[in-house]
A = this chain, B = another copy of it.
Amino acid sequence: MSKKLTKRSEDYSKWYNELVVKADLAENSAVRGCMVIKPYGYAIWENMQKELDRMFKETGHENAYFPLFVPKSLFEAEEKNAEGFAKECAVVTHYRLQNDPDNPGKLRVDPEAKLEEELVVRPTSEAIIWNTYKGWIQSYRDLPLLINQWANVVRWEMRTRLFLRTAEFLWQEGHTAHATKTEAITEAKQMQDVYAEFAENFMAMPVIKGVKSDSERFAGAEDTYTIEALMQDGKALQAGTSHFLGQNFAKAFDVKYTSKEGKQEYVWATSWGVSTRLIGGLIMTHSDDLGLVLPPKLAPIQVVIVPIYKNDEQLEAISEKVNFLVKDLRKKGISVKFDDRDTFRPGAKFAEYELKGVPIRIAIGNRDIENGTLEIARRDTLEKQTISQDDTVVFIEKLLEEIQQNLFDRAINFRKEHTTEVNDFKEFKQAIKNTGGFVSAHWDGTEETEDRIKEYTKATIRCIPNDAIEEEGVCVLTGKPSSKRVLFAKAY
């Protein structure tokens, strides 16, 4: 397979698909719509998990694990949620295969092993979890219940793309129960903040925090809080959502608690999740025509060292130096790889680590040994410079921070350049057509208008931003009064 990537300007979508495969992140599997996450891609997910898990625990949450399957009768209990997911769910109907009498060596479903009740492979776990919470919650003393689960879920999507939309994906789903509405809303907003902090500080991916319009809300929620990022092709990506579920699930599963005053009350709920989709967002925020560009805080390899040598003697002298350096860098918690494979030339290695987005590459050759120097190349700017070996550790530490910051700055500048305030529908259409990106516009608040705008432009309301200012305006499409601008964009 050629290592050469399609250029983003030629075909952004093709560039993305090629990059995911060529950088060894993931590939399609034999199961329609399901991906294989390869070790390099999974290592990014592990780094994401580590930070998110820490943040969840710091905000008082514990992990638990609930069944993969949801019996149909539980699945259908919360009507809107069921309706939202019924169209795309994998259903287990049998529990045994047997030899196929008509095809020797082949198996078939054993017709006698039909389940009495079908099992839905969880597309999300509210139903099975709230059925469990019923047994856990009796009194106000049992609240709040703050639980997270790391799991796989399945949604039988018809059009799939690696990381962005797959039939099976990995995610975390938080499910919390509270005594009051205010507490539950505070929790849902807190988790939106946690997601935003993770996206910006670790992924270097700026996000807009906002609330979803009715039509984009999670099935079964009262309100969906979202973080929305902007990709390099001007399309938005919903990167994480946190739902205030009201008492919908408590009522569907009859989960009540005895208040301090001795009254029986329904519990208030939230749920919130981010998934392996984040890896798609990470790729499309920073990467370039040479390959991945990874932010140092999530890069599986932060520094790679490539020796440049002509013979074993030179390699030995270089290795001796490098081994000390590797130790010193690791002591600082920096992830470093010394690539001394003799089956590849330095040029091939350079290209490989560019493709894989390693933030810093160090090259060290015979002359460097003589001069006490080494060459440092940044993946983000492709700049190179030669520094003294004595300064390496401090230099690298600082440079990793600088790269992390530079990636965020670049992305936020891109977003600024691709956010347009418009005041009529002509401007709206032009903005979507010319620069893409976010379009900030007044909207009359109706689903009908939203649908018509989508029909004309393919743009949808990504969110009503949390920091939207109250201002008098008129809907770009209908001219009806509006008090706030909302953000539109074409979206993944």
Contact = CB atoms under 8 A, between A and B. Distances in A.
A91 B86 contact: no
A377 to B, nearest CB: 25
A92 interface: yes
Contact of A89 (B72, B97, B343): B97
A131 B36 CA distance: 11
Interface string A432-455: 000000000000000000000000
Given A39-B62, A63-B42, A91-B93, A68 B120 contact: no
A132 B65 CA distance: 28
A147 interface: yes
Contact of A343 (B39, B67, B105, B141): B141
A451 B105 CA distance: 28
Nearest to A149: B42
A40 to B, nearest CB: 8
Contacts of A363: none
Max count, chain B CB within 10 A of own CB: residue among A36, A70, A71, A75 = A36
Contact of A118 (B45, B109, B120): B109
Contacts of A118: 97, 109
A97 B86 contact: yes
Interface residues of A, number: 64
B64 A128 contact: no
A220 to B, nearest CB: 15
Contact of A39 (B107, B131, B135, B147): B147
Contact of A72 (B70, B107, B132): B107
A428 interface: no
Nearest to A170: B65
B106 A168 contact: no
Interface string A129-168: 0011001000001000001000110101000000000001
B43 A63 contact: yes
A69 B168 contact: yes
A75 B97 CA distance: 10
Interface stretch (A10-18, A27-35, A183-191): A27-35
Interface in A61-84: 62-72, 74-76, 79, 82
Nearest to A341: B141
Contacts of A88: 95-96
Given A36-B66, A36-B132, A65-B170, A72 B87 contact: no
A90 B118 CA distance: 11
Given A62-B42, A64-B36, A107 B95 contact: no
Contacts of A87: 96-97
Contacts of A59: none
B74 A30 contact: yes
Contacts of A30: 67, 71, 74, 128, 131-132
Nearest to A37: B65
Given A69-B31, A107-B86, A95 B63 contact: no
A290 interface: no
Contacts of A106: 76
A98 interface: yes
A68 B168 contact: yes
Contacts of A27: 132, 135
11 contacts: A27-B132, A29-B132, A31-B128, A34-B67, A36-B67, A36-B132, A39-B64, A46-B63, A88-B96, A90-B92, A90-B119
